[in-house]
A and B are shown apart, each in its own frame.
Chain A
Amino acid sequence: DAKTTQPNSMESNEEEPVHLPCNHSTISGTDYIHWYRQLPSQGPEYVIHGLTSNVNNRMASLAIAEDRKSSTLILHRATLRDAAVYYCILRGYNAGNNRKLIWGLGTSLAVNP
């Protein structure tokens, strides 16, 4: 199974950077690392994804370890609107296997004003 491990909760102050870690030691060579976040009373929304290289977009940056067994989502300047549950999952090619996607509980991020 494609399992990831994240801390249950983290806290940050507004306008400070936040580093959200994720371990995925069972990642296979063709798995993409995806991050989603879920705001209160909404469905999860896409944040960023990557394969091997670090990635940046308007929402966040994704730093991927050289061995790909861990990654870190970076919010450069946290705002109150970034308070959400952040999920790290693996999406990949594994022909013929019945891989069960496991989301887990994610990391609940609190942002203090």
Chain B
Amino acid sequence: KAGVTQTPRYLIKTRGQQVTLSCSPISGHRSVSWYQQTPGQGLQFLFEYFSETQRNKGNFPGRFSGRQFSNSRSEMNVSTLELGDSALYLCASSLFPGDQGSSGNTIYFGEGSWLTVV
């Protein structure tokens, strides 16, 4: 079956602009999480959605937002971009949210969207 698909793969934006990233989870997965990855900070959890509801949120400013649609596809938005927002943004899907631990609940990641803010 198809894996997690993220679009776009690469994009360049200017400071102050906003950006929307899209994620299509694995078919049947209802939980979608977003992560920011930078060389110095590693993998930082942004938020998690399950059945269109935000279930968990990391420590990021309100400029970072997301949503999930009824077909489980998800988008994240960053407004008023700053240079420090340049990063790899990863989307991951799983059957259940991270706080529901049936056996495994493996996370599957997409290849990410590389965002450069200039």
Binding site for B on A (CB under 8 A): 30-32, 34, 36, 42-46, 49, 51, 87, 91-95, 97-106
Contacts and interface: CB of A to CB of B under 8 A. Distances in A.
A106 B99 contact: no
Nearest to A43: B109
Contacts of B109: 43-45
Contacts of B48: 101
A48 to B, nearest CB: 10
Nearest to B41: A105
Going nearest first, the 8 A-B pairs with the smallest beta carbon separation are A43-B109, A103-B43, A105-B42, A92-B101, A93-B101, A101-B45, A46-B106, A94-B99
Nearest to A42: B111
Interface residues of B, number: 29
Contacts of B104: 32, 49
A87 B90 CA distance: 15
B66 interface: no
Contacts of A105: 41-43
Contacts of A92: 99, 101
Contact of A43 (B41, B98, B99, B111): B111
A103 B42 contact: yes
B64 interface: no
Given A44-B109, A94-B99, A99-B56, 18 more contacts: A32-B104, A34-B107, A42-B111, A43-B4, A43-B92, A43-B110, A44-B43, A46-B107, A49-B106, A92-B101, A95-B99, A100-B56, A100-B59, A101-B33, A101-B45, A103-B42, A103-B44, A104-B43
B45 A102 contact: yes
